[in-house]
Structure 1
Amino acid sequence: MTFAVVGTPGDRRVGLFAAACRSAGLAEPRVIAWRDVLRGAAFEIAPGAPLRIDSPGEDAAVDALLRGPGDPARVGGGARWYAAFTAGLDRIAGAAARAGARTLNDADDIAVMFDKRRCHERLAAAGVPVPDALPGVTSYGELRERMAAARMHRVFVKPAHGSSAAGVIALQTAPGGRIRATTSAARAAGGGYANSLRVRTYETEAEVAHLVGALAPDGLHVERWVPKAALGGRVLDLRVVVIAGEPSHAVVRTSRSPMTNLHLGGARGDLGAVREAMGEDGWRRALDVCARAAACFPGSLMVGVDLLVRIGWRGFAVGEVNAFGDLLPGLTGLPGTAAEGLDTYTAQVRAALPEKIPACTT
């Protein structure tokens, strides 16, 4: 059996998945380049092949095909990126259907996960706990009006389409006109913004209005800021990978800022200490929330769930569900799961053996 992978040749994810295939005694996967998909070049999928759609990766040429020419680090262009990305997903789904390929992650599922508004709606409709949202915000003025009406003084403002916390703003307001926006978006030459590996703050109305105004044309998702549990003076959340419906891998992400992303200065925390703080009942309920979130995407063998742990350790909310949330090198599966002792990629290969692969859902 030979897997087909839509990805970017040389990307770390593709390499890790290929290594997982080799460790299982399988042939090297055939890589279909996102660059070819987005350019409209012809590509084929072997009849009946298991197909994995992976991230476009961090490739300047691919980014230009998705968002147009420009600095790959720039903030913005999410609407154009999403339109090009979903058009590519449609091409992949069509080719998979013609070949009778067995998809490991459904194109429609991926499209929903990359629209934070649609993802939030799907989770909420299924009864999965999510932060309260302010739908339909289109400008900074409307944002402030809606926050005041809902008595929300702390919110996260997120680009509707994006990942890795790019352009995300943790916004706080207080009496007397005080305001504080924490973000990784830094002012760039020409008046725009670029993604930075350093979290910074803006504390004037004009600065925050300019930032939100730069993001708004591509669509916004605004949700209540959930106060998170903390250990050792660092707030935390969990990235939980769910494979074949089972929460299989978990990593604690901690930070002294509202952003827990590891590439923004976050650090891996002690999972044992978190489980102890939750208690076994709380831990089981946390994993159950993640499984319920994953069940909202039945065509996807794997999803990564960002689980917010509320102060008090007993409440949970799903912040996001990630189509490509399995890049956790060196992390092995939770004891007692089918993935015990396996990394995220090897666990997926094992779960996708022919007798376990679902029929094509495209």
Structure 2
Amino acid sequence: MSPSASSWTPRLAVVGIPANRRVGLFQDAVRAAGLPAARTVSWLEVLQGEAVFLPGETVRIDSPGEDTEVDRMLRGGDDPARVEGSALWYGRFTAAVREVGRAAAAAGAVLLDNPEDIAVLFDKRLCHGVLDAAGVPVPDSPTSGPVSGPGAEPVRGWADVRRLMAEHRMPRVFVKPAHGSSASGVMALETAGAGRIRATTSVERDEQGRLFNSLRVRRITTEREVATLVDALAPDGLHIERWLPKGSQRGRVADLRVVVVAGRATHAVVRTSRSPMTNLHLGGARGDLDEVRAAVAAAGGSWDAALAVCERAAACFPDTLCVGVDLLPATGWRRFAVGEVNAFGDLLPRLTGLPGSGAEGLDTYGAQVAAVLAAQAPRRPAAAHGHAVPPDKHAAHGHTASRHDHAAPSHNHMTSPQDNMTSPHDHAAPPHDHRPEGRAPESGPAGNDRARNDRVTHAP
């Protein structure tokens, strides 16, 4: 990837929050590539039906988070710290994204993000089902796939969660709001004999029974309180998945965020925590990537194969330029699974590209601009359903010849009651050959880690 402008100079636009750092970082990357500033289309304009796109524009869709008015229009409430309302938010947000696609198609603009991909990425149940069907290693889940599909398991409250845990022999699970982000509403749940239970979460209830996100992770040991929280979260939709034991670094549980641009893993950061949630705003900290590579090698594994798992996950969304993959290492650092794939998972300021990735010296935004430039030719306009229809899916995202230009490896989806991960030796991988700013949110559309009275304010 090269950050410099080519003989073909795209006209870029970004749908986002104009004053937000995400838009600012993207504009910095555009300027660094020697391009004219991207035209900004605000989410407020989109929601008010006033968004305009121009013929031939290349349009990036970014997060609608960290804007009070936009959040109010999407969620229908005035308190962005509230956990409830994520289903309404999801419905309105995905409708708005599809409207962006429709308007771009009508104008003859092209999109870097597929609206239908975004809709799947913001439903943990659908995303899990897509990954699982493609053979990407994921934690076992009784709620994977369409809510109304064949074999779909209803989750109407705590009684259903208890039943599914027992039926699927899952004594340790994560219970997640289907449309949440940044660990909003997430509960790490453990059960044992004689009715013993323990939950780890950042959700708190006020005197009126309303749920809020807090910066403080706490433990709950009474089933009554756990049941009350789950019952309050269930109307917005819940996803349940097995809690996989993860590798550790310096006594702290660890996982990775890997950014994949145009099909290539370009950036990776280690996240560590003393709690099951590694999000920075919940007490997580950056880990050491060199130590991770060394641990994988010492276990007889392959770092290249670990990155290939992330690329296989991203390949499930081939019409979306960039995704952030949450990679879960098993205890021992030899096997890996994908926890989530995030549509707006690229907010890792000052983190430069991995060696051999083609994005060396570039941040995540610079890598995306370089991928667009590397296409060297305009893409065809957005199709009626709202995403780009290129003659070649790799060319559409500026995908040049790379270490991973080959057919997806055959998969060996290993399943056991305790572990559903891939080993670096389960898949053939071709040979190939930091620290970001401290408060980058981990996932989700809003990526909003602002605290107000110890509450975290963000959209799902």
Q: TM-score range by the shorter chain?
A: over 0.9
1:186 aligns with 2:191: no
Alignment-derived partner of residue 127 in structure 2:
119
8 A contact 1:248–1:334 mirrored in 2? yes
> In structure 2, what is the Cα distance between the partners aligned to 1:2 and 1:215?
43
Shift of 1:313: 1.1
1:143 aligns with 2:161: yes
8 A contact 1:102–1:357 mirrored in 2? no
1:65 aligns with 2:83: no
> In structure 2, what is the Cα distance between the partners aligned to 1:242 and 1:105?
13
8 A contact 2:124–2:239 mirrored in 1? yes
SS at match of 2:11: coil
8 A contact 1:239–1:251 mirrored in 2? yes
Alignment-derived partner of residue 38 in structure 1:
47
SS at match of 1:342: coil
SS at match of 2:302: helix
Alignment-derived partner of residue 339 in structure 1:
359
8 A contact 2:33–2:369 mirrored in 1? yes
Equivalent positions of 1:269-284 (< 5 A) are: 269-279=287-297, 281-284=301-304
Q: Counterpart amino acid of 2:226?
A: V
Alignment-derived partner of residue 191 in structure 2:
173
1:260 aligns with 2:268: no
8 A contact 2:247–2:329 mirrored in 1? yes
Give the one of 275, 278, 287 matched to 2:307: 287
> In structure 2, what is the Cα distance between the partners aligned to 1:90 and 1:261?
29
> In structure 2, what is the Cα distance between the partners aligned to 1:324 and 1:220?
21
Q: Counterpart amino acid of 2:268?
A: A
Structure with greater helix share of residues: 1
Give the one of 250, 253, 274 matched to 1:235: 253
8 A contact 1:169–1:183 mirrored in 2? yes
8 A contact 2:301–2:333 mirrored in 1? no
The size of the alignment, in residue pairs, is: 361
> In structure 1, what is the Cα distance between the partners aligned to 2:341 and 2:329?
15
Q: Counterpart amino acid of 2:330?
A: R
Give the one of 346, 350, 371 matched to 1:330: 350
SS at match of 2:356: coil
8 A contact 1:104–1:357 mirrored in 2? no
> In structure 2, what is the Cα distance between the partners aligned to 1:356 and 1:113?
28
SS at match of 2:194: helix
> In structure 2, what is the Cα distance between the partners aligned to 1:209 and 1:52?
41
Give the one of 297, 309, 320 matched to 2:340: 320
Q: Counterpart amino acid of 1:222?
A: I
Alignment-derived partner of residue 176 in structure 2:
158
> Structure 2-normalised TM-score?
0.77
Aligned in 2, Cα 1:263/1:11: closer, same or farther, shift over 3 Å?
same
1:81 aligns with 2:93: no
> Structure 1-normalised TM-score?
0.97
Q: Can you list the C-alpha shifts for 1:310-349, whole angstroms capped at 9, x where unaligned? A: 1121111111000000000010000111111100001101
Alignment-derived partner of residue 20 in structure 1:
29
8 A contact 1:157–1:221 mirrored in 2? yes
Give the one of 293, 318, 328 matched to 1:298: 318
SS at match of 1:3: strand
> In structure 1, what is the Cα distance between the partners aligned to 2:78 and 2:232?
16
> In structure 2, what is the Cα distance between the partners aligned to 1:101 and 1:350?
19
8 A contact 1:103–1:358 mirrored in 2? no
Shift of 1:2: 2.8
> In structure 2, what is the Cα distance between the partners aligned to 1:198 and 1:65?
28
8 A contact 1:253–1:267 mirrored in 2? yes
> In structure 1, what is the Cα distance between the partners aligned to 2:209 and 2:181?
22
> In structure 1, what is the Cα distance between the partners aligned to 2:77 and 2:86?
13
SS at match of 1:352: helix
Alignment-derived partner of residue 10 in structure 1:
19
Identity of aligned residues (%): 62
Alignment-derived partner of residue 330 in structure 2:
310
Which structure would you say has the larger RCO, counting Cα contacts within 8 Å and 6 or more residues apart? 2
> In structure 2, what is the Cα distance between the partners aligned to 1:301 and 1:357?
15
Q: Can you list the C-alpha shifts for 1:146-187, whole angstroms capped at 9, x where unaligned? A: 111211110000000021110010001111211111111112
Shift of 1:71: 1.1
Q: Counterpart amino acid of 1:32?
A: V
Alignment-derived partner of residue 355 in structure 1:
376
Shift of 1:357: 6.5
> In structure 2, what is the Cα distance between the partners aligned to 1:25 and 1:188?
51
Shift of 1:281: 4.2
Gaps of 5+ in 2: 1-9, 144-152, 388-460
Q: Counterpart amino acid of 2:246?
A: K
Gaps of 5+ in 1: none
1:56 aligns with 2:64: yes
Q: Can you list the C-alpha shifts for 1:10-48, whole angstroms capped at 9, x where unaligned? A: 111001001111111111111111112122x22211111
Aligned in 2, Cα 1:256/1:343: closer, same or farther, shift over 3 Å?
same
Q: CA RMSD in A?
A: 1.3
Q: Counterpart amino acid of 1:332?
A: T
> In structure 1, what is the Cα distance between the partners aligned to 2:244 and 2:371?
34
Give the one of 240, 261, 267 matched to 1:222: 240
Q: Counterpart amino acid of 1:310?
A: A
> In structure 1, what is the Cα distance between the partners aligned to 2:311 and 2:63?
22
Shift of 1:356: 6.3
Give the one of 125, 128, 132 matched to 2:136: 128
Shift of 1:358: 5.1
1:207 aligns with 2:225: yes
| TM superposition outliers: structure 1 runs of 4+ over 6 Å | none
> In structure 1, what is the Cα distance between the partners aligned to 2:135 and 2:312?
9
> In structure 1, what is the Cα distance between the partners aligned to 2:249 and 2:61?
36
8 A contact 2:257–2:324 mirrored in 1? yes
8 A contact 1:238–1:307 mirrored in 2? yes
